[in-house]
Amino acid sequence: MRGRGVAREVVMIARYLATAAVIVGLAMSSLACSKSNTSPSTVSSIAITGTVPAVGASSQFTATATMADGTIQDVTSTATWQSSNTSDATVSATGVVTSVSAGSVQIQATYLAVTGTDSLTIGS
């Protein structure tokens, strides 16, 4: 009978040690990840491209980010778009430019605090 009691204690100690090992492993993994030397890429520039729409028409513009590591990303759907003169042209949240009247306007796209600008002249 005494042998079973000792065996139970050994099993309990083994479970506690296994649990402690898992906790220590998770803690070390967490520390290793938090001390990573990798940093996210930063944006070097934003380029905006598109065709100037005629008055009353619309055209899809695109925003392309050049990252500090040299890679290029299409950020059209994640950029914040803005028109400098909504009397002449508006721009949607997805980069669709709609010409309202003849004139000049700057379309801007901002991604990760970097802004690109395209100057448009809308004919009559």
Residue 8: count of CB within 10 angstroms of its CB: 10
Tell me how far apart the alpha carbons of residues 60 and 96 are, in angstroms, rounded to a whole number: 4
pLDDT (0 to 100) of residue 1 = 54
Report pLDDT digits (tens) over 88-101. Answer: 999 999 999 999 99
pLDDT (0 to 100) of residue 41 = 76
Distance of alpha carbon 8 from the chain centroid = 54
Tell me how far apart the alpha carbons of residues 94 and 76 are, in angstroms, rounded to a whole number: 6
- 43-122 CATH, one of 3.30.70.1230, 2.60.40.1080, 1.10.10.10, 3.30.980.10: 2.60.40.1080
Domain coordinates of the chain in residue numbers? 1-38, 43-122
Low-confidence ranges of the chain (pLDDT < 70): 1-7, 14, 17-18, 20-22, 24-40
